[in-house]
Structure 1
Amino acid sequence: MATIYISIGSNIEPHKYVKAALSELTYHLGEIRCSSVYESEAVGFDGSNFLNMVVAAETDKPIEQVVSLFKEIEQLHGRQRGAKKFSPRTIDLDLLLYDHTVTDVPVVLPRAEITYNAFVLWPLAELAPDTVHPVTQKNYQQMWAEFDKSSQHLWPIEFDWPNQ
């Protein structure tokens, strides 16, 4: 079994779609562990604020199947394929880590956003503070402590979901 970390983000009816993503991930992967939910300003475009979080799960599925599952969940919940990279979205599921795998195929792992997006790093540091990034060789708590927090604004929010 591999430990995977998944980033969840939404800025279209975000409470609805983050809850839907959590339910889908629980259904397909079993027990998940959740970070807090954070609200952040849109990065890269003018748009509504996002809700973001990171969840951890165990899986025996290979990376290709995990990524395919995430695309299916996104499409099921109205994610438009082919939309601009920086645009509003119902749900965005990104595989951040698959154990300590470093690869470029079928996706880049660890996901580069870990090192430069506060809305990924802060919840990951909360959920897995002592886990070491396989490239930087720093743990996520240390990476968050060193992060320039003035570069992006986000804040934890109350979020009602059964496993929160």
Structure 2
Amino acid sequence: MATVVVALGSNVGDRRQHLSDAKTFLTDVSTASVTASSIYVTEPIGPSTRDFYNAVVMLHSSEQAESLIQQFKQFEANHGRSGNRPRWSARTIDLDIISYGHLVIQSDNLIIPHPEYHKRLFVLEPLRELMPEWIDPKSHATVGELIAQAPDMRITKLDLRW
């Protein structure tokens, strides 16, 4: 069974509800209890103009990473996310596998660790809250080291309940 770190984001509609729905889905997918960070509000990257709500969830799975990401893509589609939108566009929900155990995976459909997460405080700050001792399986950098190297962005921890 692998520990899986998943980043969640939403900037369309009821952002908190979209994250809550995703957490429920991830709880159903997990083979053990999930742990979730707080919800953060962050500035968008790219052409989107509305702030994102972001969080990180840690779950457990015995499924292959490729199977898991297919389930995530199906959930996103069922939750109103179009698969043919431009990169960094507005979205109801985005689920990204940041890490899957200690595996490093590079295939046509999946790259783990997620290729850009180390540049994103909206992933790193919730990850540090959830797993302060986490170490990147590829670079072996700690989450604290990655935060120190990440580009600055506006990020605020919210007092919202899941």
The answer to whether the 8 Å contact 2:100/2:112 transfers is: yes
Q: Match of 2:4?
A: 4
Distance 2:66 2:146 in 1: 28
Distance 1:55 1:153 in 2: 21
2:105 counterpart SS class:
coil
1:58 counterpart SS class:
strand
The answer to whether the 8 Å contact 1:40/1:155 transfers is: yes
Deviation (angstroms), 1:53: 0.6
Q: Match of 2:137?
A: 134
1:123 counterpart SS class:
helix
Is 1:47 the equivalent of 2:28? no
1:48-89 deviation digits (Å, cap 9, x = unpaired): 100001100110010111101101110111011111112110
Identity, % of aligned positions: 30
TM-score by length of 1: 0.91
Distance 1:44 1:36 in 2: 24
**Aligned length in residues:** 159
TM-score by length of 2: 0.92
Deviation (angstroms), 1:110: 0.6
Root-mean-square deviation over aligned CA pairs: 1.3
Deviation (angstroms), 1:148: 4.7
Change beyond 3 A, Cα 1:39–1:153: same
